[in-house]
Amino acid sequence: GTAYASHAVNMIPFFIYYSMFGFQRIGDLIWLAGDIRAKGFLLGATAGRTTLNGEGLQHEDGHSLLLASTIPTLVTYDPAFAYEIAVIIQDGMRRMYQESEEIFYYLTLYNENYTMPPMPQGVEEGILKGLYRFKASPHPQPLSHRMGEGGRRSGEGLKAHIFASGPIIRSALKAQQILAERFEVSADVWSATNYKQLRTEALRCKRWNMLHPTEPPKKSYLETALEKEQGVFVAVSDFMKIVPEQIAPWVPGGLMTLGTDGFGRSDTRERLRRFFEVDAECVVVATLYALAEKEQVDRRIVARAIKDLDVDPEKAFPQISVP
């Protein structure tokens, strides 16, 4: 990654490896790569706490994105779809080798097969900025009911937004369907590709506003993207909750987060995702709870969802549980 400086020859290295064996084991060398202005792509394969489901603590990575956030020149992405990877790599090559930016990249790659959709029109900016609406609710206008007929306040519609990354976006999409069909909640699913980028830009704008108090304030991409949205916001990730929580200060009304805090375990993906509470059913419960916290649904609706969706309210707290 430094051949451009040592030999005046640009090379484009792609280094793919078990994501668990990267930042956790050789973090100092990755920091060194930033220090010596290396370029190229680090590809963290078998990323996520629940995708490589048979090898327990050894390979189940739920924190490399957090460690990656500490390196200033490392551009970090957590893509869900093949087209996102293509857009990110193309732009990375432009930035590193055409614009000569002294940066390098980390992309998470998972261990799960699922159908790759075509790229929606006009999402390239959102992919690179870190967030875009992937699938709007099947009920674009929130439905409304009276409190006595389902636990909603009279005349109010129920709206939610679910941020998701990597394969866990499928949990969000299934939750979107359940919310619409069984609880009459209109939920949009957003692909969150880069929480670090969203946070960094928001901090940059906040700093500029602090130092230019008499100038019209600047808004970050995140603030602009969400400022007109109504409803509650939920984020679900195959990484620790603190990864999506990086953007919580700039999410209108706050952010409810689901993630994989704790050690990895050996089990099926379905059981692992229920254990860590990042499956579709837990996303539904979290969304309804967020609405209840805003007094938009009766808490009895949340209790009914927990029962109907077979979520054990007395299950162990994943972060401190042992196999």
Kindly report the average pLDDT of the chain as a whole number. Answer: 91
Q: How is residue 94 annotated by DSSP? A: I
Distances 230 to 109, 141, 167, 254, 309 between C-alpha atoms, Å:
32, 11, 26, 12, 26
Asked if 76 and 196 touch (Cβ cutoff 8 Å), the reply is: yes
Q: Is residue 150's pLDDT more than 80?
A: no
- pLDDT value for 146: 35
- pLDDT value for 89: 98
Nearest CA among 285, 294, 172 for reference residue 230: 294
- Which range among 3-7, 212-216, 224-228, 312-316 shows the weakest confidence by mean pLDDT? 3-7
Q: In what order do the strands lie in the sheet with 186-192?
A: 131-135, 186-192, 159-164, 232-236, 256-258
d(CA 34, CA 86): 23
Distances 186 to 43, 136, 151, 154, 176 between C-alpha atoms, Å:
35, 9, 16, 16, 8
d(CA 206, CA 220): 8
- pLDDT value for 8: 84
d(CA 315, CA 305): 16
Boundaries of every domain in the chain: 3-108, 124-320
- pLDDT value for 10: 86
Side-chain-side CA neighbours of residue 173 (13 Å)? 12
Q: How is residue 219 annotated by DSSP? A: -
Maximum alpha-carbon separation in the chain: 74
- The matching CATH number, chosen from 3.20.20.190, 2.40.30.10, 3.65.10.10, 3.40.50.920, for 124-320 is 3.40.50.920
Q: What is the pLDDT of residues 207-216, one digit of tens each?
A: 999 999 999 9
Q: Is residue 16's pLDDT more than 90?
A: yes
Task: Write out the DSSP string of 272-312.
Answer: HHHHTT-SHHHHHHHHHHHHHHTTSB-HHHHHHHHHHTT--
Residue 45 host element (H or E): strand 41-45
Residues 6+ apart with CB under 8 A from 195: 65, 69, 78, 130, 243, 244, 246, 247
Q: Is residue 58's pLDDT more than 80?
A: no
Q: What is the pLDDT of residues 238-297, one digit of tens each?
A: 999 999 999 999 999 999 999 999 888 888 899 999 999 999 999 999 999 999 999 999
Distances 89 to 94, 102, 146, 243, 316 between C-alpha atoms, Å:
9, 15, 49, 22, 40
Q: Do domains 3-108 and 124-320 have the same CATH topology?
A: yes
CA quadruple 127, 128, 130, 134: dihedral, nearest 10: -10
- pLDDT value for 2: 82
Task: Write out the DSSP string of 221-284.
Answer: HHHHHHTT--SEEEEE-SS-TTTGGGGGGGSTT--EEE---S----S-HHHHHHHTT-SHHHHH
- Pick left, alpha or beta for residue 262 (phi over 0 → left; psi -120 to 50 → alpha; otherwise beta): left
Mean pLDDT of 132-145: 74
CATH topology of domain 3-108: Rossmann fold (3.40.50)
Per-residue pLDDT band at 147 (split at 50, 70, 90): very low
Asked if 62 and 23 touch (Cβ cutoff 8 Å), the reply is: no
- pLDDT value for 168: 97
- pLDDT value for 267: 84
Q: What is the pLDDT of residues 73-107, one digit of tens each?
A: 999 999 999 999 999 999 999 999 999 999 999 99
Per-residue pLDDT band at 24 (split at 50, 70, 90): confident
Q: What is the pLDDT of residues 155-202, one digit of tens each?
A: 368 999 999 999 999 999 999 999 999 999 999 999 999 999 999 999
Distances 239 to 50, 220, 221 between C-alpha atoms, Å:
9, 24, 23
- pLDDT value for 57: 76
